[in-house]
Amino acid sequence: MKTVLVINYSQTGQLAEITAQVVAPLRAAGHLVHVETLVPVTAFPWPWPIVDFVDAFPECVQLDAPPLEPLSIPAERDFDLVILSYQVWYLSPALPMTAFLQSPAGRRLIAGKPVVTLVACRNMWLSAQETMQRLIAEAGGELRDHLAFTDQGPALATFLTTPRWVLTGRRDRWLGLPPAGVAPEEIHKAGRFGRALADALDHDAETTGAPMLTGLRACTVNPRLALSERAGRRAFKVWSRLIRACGRRGQWRRRPMLLVFALYLIAMVLTVVPLSLLLQWLLSPLLKPRLDRLRAELELPSGSQDFNLKEYE
């Protein structure tokens, strides 16, 4: 029997549902799983009032996380495997997960441990995962696998359906567009990762340093979105510093700059992002070698191959 620590933060419940699908086979196989749900001292609202949603932006990008309530387990407790289930806010890990990875207790719990990251988001998770990799490495953890679950709708459609979900709590079919969030069948299929992890733990594969979830279509990267995301990340860093210079989170004096940023964000979504995707599509024959290399790099360590699917479906 192995021990597994699962760190989870899910506002909508979707990420918690996916995590439960992964965890169930581990428990069925006899492994001891402890699920720790992160609780901020000051809760983040759901659905988000639009002012609060925009006001969280600078701290997300600058990794200035608010404090958490104490964990229910001691920092000295030992685990064989750690699973970090996180959301993406503004191309960065959600603030509660950032707070955990920056806290003394969190860093102690994952130091020297194999770590699996699990994300459920709209479709742009690459910058957040790069940040996660760095924070895990700084804490002494060893990233072993990464699982990415993304929205079922087309990329441009999600620019409408996801904000509607975030700001109103409604995710049903709207204006002929697919419902927001990960498709129910993809959530149900997440159990394959738990079954593969259970087998890996049974054979001490967590100690080898190699990925445990290859061949299960763990994460699929659209390299065209990756290029757009990197450009957005650079702009977000500049905007976050400007807004923070105007005041702290919740202060009225930074509201005017937040309004300017919100207008910029809307303009970017309506113009720059579609034009960027169109330009990349037109230039795809020339960009293909670069995009293929980028895809292979960003899909590490688990990859998008499917040669083990039949064994664990």
Q: What is the overall mean pLDDT for the chain? A: 94
* pLDDT score recorded for residue 29: 97
Of 270, 262, 234, residue with least CA distance to 56: 262
Q: CB neighbours (10 Å) of residue 145? A: 28
The pLDDT score that the predictor gives to residue 5 is: 98
Q: Is the pTM of this model over 0.85?
A: yes
Q: Which of 35-44, 79-88, 91-100, 219-228 has the lowest mean pLDDT?
A: 219-228
State the average pLDDT over residues 77-106.
98
CA distance 59 to 61: 6
- Peptide bond before residue 66 is cis, with ω within 30 degrees of 0: no
**185 vs 18, 149, 191, 263, CA distance in Å?**
11, 11, 11, 36
Q: Hey, which bits of the chain come out as E strands?
A: 3-8, 32-37, 81-86, 88-89, 92-93, 114-121, 142-150
CATH architecture of 3-224+294-312: 3-Layer(aba) Sandwich (3.40)
Quote the tokens at residue 42: 């000051």
Q: What are phi and psi of 285, to 5 degrees?
A: -60, -35
In angstroms, rounded to a whole number, what is the distance separating the alpha carbons of residues 190 and 171? 21
So where are the chain's domains? 3-224+294-312
Q: Tell me: the pLDDT tens digits for 17-59?
A: 999 999 999 999 999 999 999 999 999 999 999 999 999 999 9
Count of C-beta atoms within a 10 Å radius of residue 310:
8
Query: What is the enclosing helix (H) or strand (E) of 292?
Result: helix 284-298
Q: What is the mean pLDDT of residues 208-233?
A: 91
Which residues are bridge partners to 82 per DSSP?
Answer: 5, 115
54 token code pair: 């925009």
- 185, containing H or E segment: helix 184-188
Pairing outcome for strands 88-89 and 114-121: unpaired
Whether 153 has a pLDDT exceeding 90, the answer reads no
Using one digit for the tens of pLDDT, what is the confidence trace for 244-298?
A: 999 999 999 999 999 999 999 988 888 877 787 788 778 878 888 888 898 999 9
Torsion angle of the four alpha carbons 136, 94, 120, 138, in this order, in degrees rounded to the nearest 10:
-10
Rg (CA), the chain: 19
Whether the CB-CB separation of 99 and 66 falls below 8 Å is answered with yes
Q: Please give the C-alpha separations between residue 176 and each of 42, 115, 152, in angstroms, as whole numbers.
A: 37, 40, 14
Strands (E) across 27-105 are located at 32-37, 81-86, 88-89, 92-93
